Amino acid sequence: MAKKTLTTNQGVPVADNQNSLTAGQRGPVLLQDVHLIEKLAHFDRERIPERVVHAKGAGAHGYFQVSKSLAPYTKAKFLQDPKKKTPVFVRFSTVVGARGSADSARDPRGFAVKFYTEEGNYDLVGNNLPVFFIRDAIKFPDMVHAFKPAPDTNIPVSSSANSRFWDFISLTPESIHMITWLFSDRGTIKSYRKMEGFGVNTYIWVNDKGKGRYVKYHWKPAAGIETIDRHESTRLAGEDPDVATRDLYDWIASGKTVEFELKVQLMEFEDEFRLDFDPLDATKTWPEDKYPLMPVGKIVLDKNPENYFAEVEQAAFCPASIIPGIEPSADKLLQGRLFSYADTQRHRLGPNYLQIPINRPNAAVNNNTRDGSMQNGEGFSGTVNYEPNTLGGGMPEQSGGPVFGGRPIVGEEVRRKIVLTNDFQQAGERYRSLSKKDQDHLVDNIIDPLSHAKKEIQKRMVANLTKADVALGKRVAKGLKI
Ligand code: HEM
């Protein structure tokens, strides 16, 4: 191995890294030991704020490739050519636990993909379950508060084995469909390689003729789906809390790849008001017999991060990172997400977080955004930092062309629930679609943590479960001796 001299961060050779500079052999220590001071001061600042949700994660690099041109549906350039490989970075995560929590705990899992496309970065920030607890972003901070440790005790009990979780859930009927997913064994896993991924929210794809359609994303794991039961989840949380993180790293380190197939469901705008639920409601799935899954392409993950902090901890995904041909829908949960991610990243990583190598687009960045902390100045030169200008030859100039699909938006200013809530039907259908064993696990997985909640909360939950499916409600009621 080539010889390397130890240096300070200024590049100055360090003569002795074992002994502080002292007055006499036994001290005290001198303020002029700049190496000691720099070393301690940098160490003191090694932690940045953990993500407010999805704090614990594991990442990998790879590429994405379409299986056929998607030109009829979207003009996004990286989705046109089956020969093209677009680099990606993926971060899988748990949601509720803090940075040191167990991988196997009952929780949705994050499935965030950053595509470094020729038109700029596109982020598909999804989860491993197809629906969500709520349909309006205004409820998200309350929801996360109810799931995280209590503000008075900070006791990190399993997020669902307490009254606070069930209090919020029982008063939020739209969450019941998500509960039938989260409390099935889909909510406990030990390998990120063997779970599905979903965009959950509805987006819009627009082709080069300006024709738009609603789209929902699905990732299918080549390794198949693997879940564990709650006993295995509890055992692993104690004995092997980093099981999924290590599984991903070791698998790739051994030279093997991780693959997921991307599929989409497409819906014509005309269908928007023809269903018995609102298709832009994130607590609903679209029936696959009416909206079949269309194969799109695959991601292949083949490279581990080399520096966990630089790549995984500093990775910043955002549903608002979209490119021409992909647009947000009016989905009220998604609309809040469009704001929240970059906002938290400016706080967590600083205003120039997009200059950090893992977040920097491969596409050229030309604009007049300047300054701010940690500005590296790369690519910015000259006297012109405004637009329009003549002193810089009018550059950089706007590209022109359509901005968004131009769909008309009408309505009064209101704060109102959507009309077609239909909160219980899909939850009941999901329960009835499960095998006997999976139904038993769902019931058991609900009863165990719900038994820690207050009786009145248990009764509200039973009422909601009964509205979804009478047998499901009855079984949970029996288990809780109600
Ligand atoms: C209104 C609802 C939501 C809000 C306000 C919200 C907000 C946030 C915030 C603030 C973060 C931390 C980001 C960071 O520090 O870099 C985050 C992370 C994340 N969220 Fe959401 N979220 C919402 C719903 C969802 C939904 C529905 C999904 C799944 C489809 C989702 C998937 C994720 C993922 C995967 C991450 C982790 C990204 C990473 O690996 O860095 N979130 N969310």
How do residues 24-66 score in pLDDT, each as one tens digit?
999 999 999 999 999 999 999 999 999 999 999 999 999 999 9
Joined tokens for residue 87 = 């680099």
Q: Quote the pLDDT of residue 155.
A: 83
Ligand 1 mutation target, pool 125, 198, 308, most atoms within 8 A of CB: 125
Instruction: Say if residues 199 and 126 touch (Cβ distance below 8 Å).
Output: yes
Residue having the nearest C-alpha atom to atom 29 of ligand 1: 126
Task: Name the residue with the closest Cα to ligand 1, atom 17.
Answer: 53
| Atom in ligand 1 nearest the alpha carbon of residue 336 | 1
Average pLDDT rounded to a whole number, residues 141-160: 87
CA of 143 to the centre of ligand 1 (A): 13
pLDDT given at position 159: 67
List 54, 61, 218, 441, catalytic entry: 54
Sequence-distant (≥ 6) Cβ neighbours of residue 385 within 8 angstroms: 368, 370
pLDDT at 82: 98
Residues β-bridged to residue 110: 93, 127
Choose the CATH number for 57-131+194-355 among 2.60.40.1220, 3.20.20.70, 2.40.180.10, 3.40.50.720.
Answer: 2.40.180.10
Q: Does the pTM of the predicted model rise above 0.85?
A: yes
- Please say if the pLDDT value at position 461 is more than 80: yes
Chain centroid, CA 266 distance in Å: 22
Give 60 Cα–ligand 1 centroid separation in angstroms.
18
Q: Is the CB of 53 under 6 A from ligand 1?
A: yes
* Residues in CB range of 193: below 8 A, 6 or more apart: 221, 223, 247, 248, 251, 258
pLDDT of residue 401: 81
* Residue from 79, 77, 81, 84 nearest 63 by CA: 84
Q: For the ranges 158-167, 215-224, 338-347, which has the lowest average pLDDT? A: 158-167
List the one residue out of 287, 272, 293, 288 whose CA is nearest residue 426: 287
The protein residue with its alpha carbon nearest to ligand 1, atom 27, reads 132
Task: Answer yes or no: is pLDDT of 270 > 90.
Answer: yes
User: Does 109 sit in the ligand 1 pocket, CB within 6 Å?
Assistant: no
Percent over 70 (pLDDT), the chain: 99
Residue 435 confidence (pLDDT): 98
The reported pLDDT for the residue numbered 424 is 98
**Confidence class for position 406, pLDDT limits 50, 70, 90:** confident
Active site residue 145: no
CA distances (Å), 46 to each of 221, 229, 314, 457, in order? 35, 37, 12, 42
Residue nearest to atom 35 of ligand 1 (CA): 110
Residue pLDDT, tens place only, 60-113 = 999 999 999 999 999 999 999 999 999 999 999 999 999 999 999 999 999 999
Please state the rounded mean pLDDT for residues 290-294.
98
CA 441 to chain centre: 26
Residue 209 has pLDDT above 70, yes or no: yes
Q: In the annotation, is 127 catalytic?
A: yes
Average confidence score pLDDT of the chain: 96
